[in-house]
Structure 1
Amino acid sequence: MGKRRADSDDEISANGSPASKRARTVDSDDERAPPASARRASKGKARRRDDDDDDDESGSEDAPDYDEEAERKFEEEYEDSIRTALENRRKFQGGIAEHGIIEAIEMHHFMCHKYLTFSFGPQINFIIGHNGSGKSAVLSAITVALGGKANSTGRGNGLKSFIREGQPASEVTISLKNQGEEAYKPKEYGKSIVITRKFTKEGNSSWKIKSKDGRIISTKKDELAAICDHMNIQVDNPMNVLTQDAARQFLSASAPTDKYKFFLRGTQLSQLSEEYETCIANITATAKVLTQKKEAIPDLKSAYREAHNRYEEASKAREQKAKVDELKKELAWSHVSAKKKEMETKVADAAKQGRRIPKIKENLANAEAELAAEDEVVMGLERQLDTLGEPQDLQENKNKLSTEIKANRAEVSTLNNELKAIGTQKKTLDNQIAEYNAAIDKETKRLEKDTESQRQETQRKLAAARADATTAEEALKAIRDQKSAVEAELQRHRNAGFTAENRVKELRTEVMDCESAIQNCLKADTDRYAAYGNNIQKVVEQINNTHWHGEKPLGPFGIHVKVRDNRWAELLRNQLGGLLSSFAVTDTRDLPILKKILADHHNPKTSVHIFKPDLFDYSHGEPPAEVLTVLRALDISDPHVLRLMINKASIESRILAAKRPEAASILAKLRGGNSWTLDKFNVTRYPEGGGSSIPIIFRSNHPMLLVGSATDELQRWRHQKVAKEAELQAATATLKETQAEWNKAKKDEQALLPKERAADQQYHRAKVISRDLQNEMNDTLPAQLTGIQEALKDTEAEKVILLKQYDALATAKAELDQVQNDLVKKKEKVQDEINNFANKRQAVGDKIEAAVGKRTAHQANINHWKKKIAEEEAKVKEAEDAVAVVEQEFKEWTEQAEQYCAQVPAERAVEVVKRALESTQAALKERERRHGASVEDMAIEVNKAKEKLSKAETDLKQMTSLNKAIKTSLITRLSRWQEFRRHIALRCKLVFGYHLSQRGYFGKVLFDHEKGTLQLKVVTDDQVATQAKGDKDRREKDPRSLSGGEKSFSTICLLLSLWESIGCPLRCLDEFDVFMDAVNRRISMKMMIDTANQSDKKQYVLITPQDMNNVVIGPTVRVHRMTDPERGQGVLGFGS
């Protein structure tokens, strides 16, 4: 019975008197004085000693009896100190309680109140109002809310009687202060604990225990009991909550025995008394059980002696048993010897098994070397495949060679023109040389016919003609240089025109593609199935209206699939386009039906798959989370579509990468796999090594595949079309500009042609005139043979120079012709390579496939040898484990044998020793049969009898000692109980006298603890102090002879004196002044207010139907005034 020290204000002087203690309030109405059996047990010593150990079974030390003389001495000893302590305490103002007092109360449909709420003051609260205003309902509500019994309120036998008439339920909420160091669970409840109790007409009742902020912490009554226990609130204690009926009975008609019971119950002494009575009954019952146990010990001793005698009689069989023991020892060590031989055999087998592994490892090394060599072959073929290049690269190379051939052809044409001009000049020089030679011959014949005048005139004309020829030659050369520049410019514009024209064609195609995509997007905006085939909307409608053997077909898949990042949309549309348009059925019988529906709507090539709706786990096939896969790039809303695409396209393991090298690097880290790349390659790496990279051929797909919003895609294609149209317009303008420049250059070339012809004719005419004049000069100046010869020499020198120019141009032309031939051959070779690219790539691929096959075979060999090694190692491990097991068994058997006995020679086999042991045991059993039991059984019987006797004696001794200690402790507690009662009674007497003196009365409280009575004696005459003692005795009155006011005042003084003895922070009293006159009421009110102000950390709730006009109200007093008796009032109005 654990107790917590009460937070009371009744600590007395420093003389060390024990303070009162409290226990949890009980529901019984049977309040009693100290237990009668305890008093009887305490009147003497009752010791009964055991014959063997003299232990006390039921005796105890004496407990002090009730003695009037002792009571008188006690009062004399402590009266002054207690009186002094009380006087000192009245000089101080009591403090406000930090926990355990009521802050506010709220009632809904409770008794006569529809709704009532108000707040209490922390110290003194008066609730006043006319009769019938519902004042007493407040105390009933406090009792009900704090878990008290309904019948303790005196207002009903059950909770249903508190429900306002006509209402199905009632609810009472009370808020308790919860602050300070001793607050109850402050972290959970905060500074206030709000308790709400709701009960219904059907008899249901529930609690909600909430924190200050309204959070529900508990709904259990146990939590409420713990709160009340912690805060020392005793709601069923009549001293704490004195209801109207109890107050009237206490004030008017209580008998001395009733007052005494009220005193014991209010101070909780009666509860301690009841618990001590229970303890005494238990001690007595235990003593009876111990007596019975003690009577059984002689029988146990007799059984032990009989078993011991029987065991002694069987001692003659011990020698034979010793032989059995020796044979058992030999058998134990025989088993150890056999296990040792087994261990040696297992060790040899394990060693033999381990010698096979090195040869297998050698075969594995050879296979790995062959695999490495084949890896080199595969990598060489892959490099060869990479050197083949790509078709785009070959086409670009061909275009480049064509451009170079065209440019080279223009240069060759220019050189041919220059060689042709040099040939013409050479013919002219050859003619001149012939003419010079003829003139020299003629000159030699006509030397004598020369005339000077004619020679000079001819000389002048010849000089003029030569000057004209030189001018014409320079003009011709300038025109030809200009023509060459124009031809080069024309060729440049021609090449630029071809490039611009091709770009215009490409852009026109792209614009048309954009227009087609826009139309598809517009169609998809109204038909979400447009991207998946012809009339798919009608296909889906017919699927929904058709009865199927299995589940309704699933599809098209693309409806449930969207791409997360649009950068992968084009690639995934190309690679998954066919799968996205597919359907699936769960029953093979539905396959032809769905195929026919698709064919009827012009979709004969749409794939239909058969699947089982199994949501299998695919996570084991996924790469690490940081690697992007097709599955992770898609958002698939249907789990069955997701798993179908995993089965059909391995989207959970197929990697996505930007470039081919990046894909190869990722797959190498993953030790194989497959990847699609944005640069349009399908990259594969095999687990055993090697791989391939195959270009992805892009097909035209519907732009709405994998796209979530048709509006967004339409907007994107429109923007793209605008951009392409702008590029097309710019490319067209560039083409027109190039054509205009080419036309201008062509016109310039055409304009230069007549100029070239005219200049050439002018040059040739000047040369003819010069030649004719030279001929004439030769005719007219035959004597100047030396001059002709000089001219001949000059002409021949000019011819030599001209021939050198011709040779240089011819060499340059030959080189250009060689370059041209090389370019043509390269172009033809590239064309052949383009034509043969697929064949060559296929041939290299076949070689790679063959090499990979060999490598796979080598890998299979490696796997075989690895498996073989694993098997052999497993066998070795199994053999070693067997060795370990046998060794462990040998070790354990040896340890067990050593525990059983020391090692003995064990040369004989196990079976031989067993036979000898069995024959000896058979003989021993025959002897035991004659005795009726085996030696072992008799030994066990003796040990059991001895153990049973020892245990009984030990238990009896321990329990007797324990019962004695408990009884001694109980007697000590009874002494303390009487000590408590004396202190409380003495305090009550002194306080009672003090309160009576406030009215000018004298009186005393007479306690008879033996008879259980409490009587009041009151002297109402102030002058009696001067009278004689006999006269004083004559004036003392019994409360029954007092007037109503005097009786009520005296009883209030008694109640206040009793309140000094309890530690509950809450005191409630209803209609205490019902029989008082004005004077007694005024004094009682002042006395109660003063007492309340002096009480430390106590809260008073006092109910009276009288007003408070004649009472001085201080700051610690709060008056709550109830409205006139009505049965429909709302919020309580009050003043303070």
Structure 2
Amino acid sequence: MAKRRVAVDSDDEDPQSSQVSKRAKTEDSDSQGQQTPEKKSKVNGKTKDEGNSSDEGEVDIRDANEEGEEFEKRFEEENGDAIRRRLEARSQVVGGIAEHGIIECIEMTNFMCHPRLRFTFGPQINFIIGHNGSGKSAVLSAITIALGGKTISTGRGSGLKSFIREGQNKADVTITLKNQGEEAYRPNDYGKSIVITRTFTRQGASSWSIKSKDGRKISDKRDELAAICDHMNIQVDNPLNVLTQDAARQFLSASHPSDKYKFFLRGTQLSQLSEEYDSCLAHVNQARKILHQKKQALPELRATLKEATIRFEEASKAREQRHKADELKKELAWAHVAAKQHEMEAKFQEVAKAQQRLPKIQDKVDHAEAQFKQASDEVERYEGEFADLGNIDHLNQKAKELQDKIRLNKNSLNQFKNDGRDMDASLTGLNKAIQEYDIKIVEETRRMETHTLARREELNRKLEEAKQAVAAAEHAHRVVCDEKRAKQTATDECKQKGMAAQNQAKQAQERIQECNTMISRCKEREDNVLAPYGRDMKRILEQIKQMRWYGDTPIGPLGLHVRLKDQRWASLLRSQLGTLMSAFACTDPRDRPQLKRLFDQTRNHHINIIISERDEFDYSSGEPPANVLTVLRALEISDPYVLRILINQSNIERTVLAPNRKAGDDTLVGLRSGVAWTADFMRVTRYNEGGGSSIKLNRIAPGDPRHMLFTANDNATELRDWLEELRVAETTYQSASAECKRLAGMYNVITQESRTLDQREREALANLRKFKATHSQLQDEANEEMPAGVAHLQTAREEAEEEKKLVLQQFEDLTFRKTAINEAQNGLLTELNQVKKQIRTFEETRGLITAKVEEAVTHRLDAQKNRNHYAKKLEDEQRTVNDLEAVADTLQQEFTDWTARAREYCDPVENPRKVAVVQRQLESVQTALKERERKQGASVEEMTIEVNKAKADLDSVEHDLRTCAVINNNLKKSLVMRFDKWHEFRRHIALRCKLVFQYHLSNRGYYGKVLFDHVNQTLQLKVQTDDQAATQGRDKDPRSLSGGEKSFSTICLLLSLWDSIGCPLRCLDEFDVYMDAVNRRISMRMMIDTANASDKKQYILITPQEMGSTALGPTVRVHRMSDPERGQGILAFGNASA
């Protein structure tokens, strides 16, 4: 909203104005006003003073200053001379140039008929000239549109779209406002100029861009434009600032006097100020009505206060009875203190009794602790005996080896037995065949009579000698073979003993290597306790702490959080859990690659990475009964997260531990199913549906770092143990090496003897072949002497004999081998029995020690239960004592507080009665008081509150009414003063308008009057156009004037109204269309003189006439528009109609 500034003296007087000869006639120019009521409501009979002092009636003070005709004349007489002197003094004053609020330049793009047009205006007077149709009026329309004016006020269109050049989609108008001087608008932001651009399109969109002089965009809000116009007092919608030719002609000739009056009020902004005053007056009257309504409540409030006062006086009679109740309350307070003291003393006695029980329970705790220590010592002693017992792995291994040898020997003996049966059958058949051959030969020989008996006897003798030689050679060969077999047996025995000695030496050497490795690891662990888990483990853990992880920081090695309770399970758990002990765990899978790279960089490829979220689930449901030893119960795990990982990975909560396979199987049978690990490295399984299986577990290799896990002793003790093991292994190795050397020498001797026997066997075999050949030759000769049948039978018998000898020789060899194996088997059985006896002895001893350990553990558990029982009892008793002491302390504090509060309430009461007695009497008194209050409807306190509240309400309403009435009266007085000022402004402006109008008419030799009727709100013009007006005595109505006279009168009226407003812009369109040359020359000179005399005002005047005949000064700038283009073809509206 524009500033409400009424510019009574907005322009300096024109120094170039000439004196008017007919000035005396203006004194009667405003004598036509009548003091009749306005159309707005007014209370009859109320004067100005009554309107100020009355609160009961609604008074219209808007027309309080409407005076009569005499008053107007007196006002003109008092002020007319001063105004005329100012007009005369204009010739002595030159108007200044405005520092802000004027237009420096304007630029239009596609606006109306202009594709692009730019003007740079002068600071005072600007004429825009050009032929009709050149687009002169578009400048004023552009100024109105760019500065936020309404499109209808331009008279050129009803909407922004009508201003866009034909064939274009949008138009731009840019205005540069001067922004200098002390009253510049936001000079730090905008600088010396403000550039305002308005863009609008055919689609109806419109926007502003408000920039500084250097092109920086400051705002695009219309509110900012309104603030700029308000600051610079620019009113583009004011018809006096921008007046088109049509509006001026209609205003002068066709408008009603009431319309002219409204035009006058709007142009001077008096109408806006009047409307706001009317709104204030309506609010004042509304407030008066509300105050009158509130006054109606005062009698009711006074009656309420009086009624409450009467009831309060009646209630005051109960004060004596209340005083008695107060005394009883005091006694009751000290009765409570006495009761609390008795309760406190009783509680302190209870504390003393409870404290006396503590030493007795402490003695029982000490006794139970001693028993537990004794039982623990006994367990440790038996466990030491069990550890000293060692193991029988070597006996089990030897028994296994003996059993394997015995099994092989049994297989050999069974094979020998089968071979013997086959040989017996062969001998029986051969003997029968030989007997049959002998009978046939005898029979055949008996039939023969030969004359070669002597030769046959000689052949038979040689044949018998050859047979004896063959038998002797066979005996010699058999003796050599027997010696060779005996020597072979000795060789085998020596070889077996040598291999056993070599195995023992090898095992001792491996043990030495293992001991050296473990000694090195123990020494390494002295400096690095993390050595059992991998290389450079300390640096790995430091890097893990420094690195950033997606999940929790990885934890590991897991073995750091695990300790073995019983060392007899160490070897087994190293084998089964050793790999997990060096593992690491992380909660987020995305951390695994980074952790794996860290292990690979340190060559710890053996370390496993376990992905597991932190979930402390309850695993108790999967555990067996408490009397069954599981892997979990054999371990002590300090981290719950590690505990759950081992449960998930190896089911340690349900895996049973047992000393041997049978014990494990028996335990699982009792549990109906499950898995057991046994100390003899067996994995025993029992299934729910029945049946089971046993699998041999692998032992870890010598020198494996896992040997350093689950060690009970400290590092120094373990190092000493390994050094002792090394000494024993070296002694064993030296003894086994010496035995190997001795057996090697013996083997060499036996081997040499075996080679000698081989030579002898070859020689005996050669003799046997020679004697057999001789015997065969003699036999052939004898056969030749025999008949063919006897010879054939003899040959068959000899073949049977040879076969029989071969079978007998094989049987003899089989018998010898069987005897040797039986002898060896007996030795093996004897040795196996001895080994089994040793194992049984060890098992019996270990069973006894185990039974002692279990019994000692049972005793320790009992002692531990007793200790825990008495410790818990002591803790409970101590807690009870502490609770009693806390209660006693609380009671003591309460007693102290109650005593202090009782002293604050009243003085001590000696020997107060019991609480119940005093309470009964107090309740009786209070019951009586309540009965009185029931009858009265409220207590004394409530009555006091009610009286005070009623009085406060009455005082508050009376005070508010007085305050609001004073404020409302002051507001009405203020409005009266403001209306007085408003009427005074209107009178001054109207008088100035009259005189200035007459002054400007006198430049043409005319005489005229402006007749104001402020009561009826009308404005009339009267003009006389010749110097004989006094003789004719008739004023012309504007509608009867010629075109030139009418235009000149319009200019005079407009200049007189311009003299009354403060806007820095004056715009007038084609003011001289109907003027003749004389009127135009005088009007032009008059307007230029008025503009030069105006201070800080800018004039933009549009005319289609040339300016050649007008004298122009340095303050005038003429802008010529180009002639309209011709030959454009068909007009746009023709196309539209088509």
TM-score range, shorter chain: 0.3 to 0.5
Normalised by the length of structure 2, the TM-score is 0.47
CA radius of gyration, larger in: 2
Normalised by the length of structure 1, the TM-score is 0.47
